[in-house]
């Protein structure tokens, strides 16, 4: 298993669904700067990350609806990492699970160099 280990100023973990996505942005010391549920629309995402985008990496779990986000990040020259769903579940599996917790855990894995 390989992990994403590059360092950034901001780390965005996204729990992505067909009609909504929960985004959590952490700064380099691990403080939450944004934690919000937004529509799964490119403009909503770009608005949310605008203050952080120059030094941001975006990570999401490999699920059915990740293609548009990866393409958007590529077009906007934003670093994007796609996590392996089974490995991520094994690493951050816990009893409590919801979109808000999952987006935070994805951001924490990115920041800590444990994003598979």
pLDDT band at 89 (very low <50, low <70, confident <90, very high): low
Which bin fits 24, alpha (ψ -120 to 50), beta or left (φ > 0)? beta
Q: Catalogue all structural domains in the chain, each as residue range(s) with its CATH number.
A: 10-112 (3.30.420.40)
Distances (CA, A) of 95 to 49, 54, 59, 105, 115: 30, 35, 22, 13, 20
Percent of the chain exceeding pLDDT 90 equals 60
Place of tokens 């990115």: 110
Mean pLDDT of the chain: 89
101 burial class (0-12, 13-18, 19+ CB within 10 angstroms)? middle
């Amino acid at each position: 298993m390989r992990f994403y280990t590059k360092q950034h100023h901001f780390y965005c973990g996204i729990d992505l669904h067909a009609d909504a996505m929960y985004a959590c942005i952490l700064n380099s010391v691990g403080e939450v700067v944004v934690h919000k549920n937004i529509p799964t629309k490119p403009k909503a995402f770009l608005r949310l990350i605008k203050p952080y985008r120059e030094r941001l990496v975006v990570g999401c779990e490999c699920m059915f609806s990740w293609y548009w986000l990866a393409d958007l990040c590529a077009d906007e020259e934003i670093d994007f990492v796609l996590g392996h769903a089974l490995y991520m579940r094994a690493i951050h599996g816990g009893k409590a699970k919801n979109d808000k917790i999952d987006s935070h855990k994805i951001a924490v894995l990115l920041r800590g160099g444990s994003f598979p």
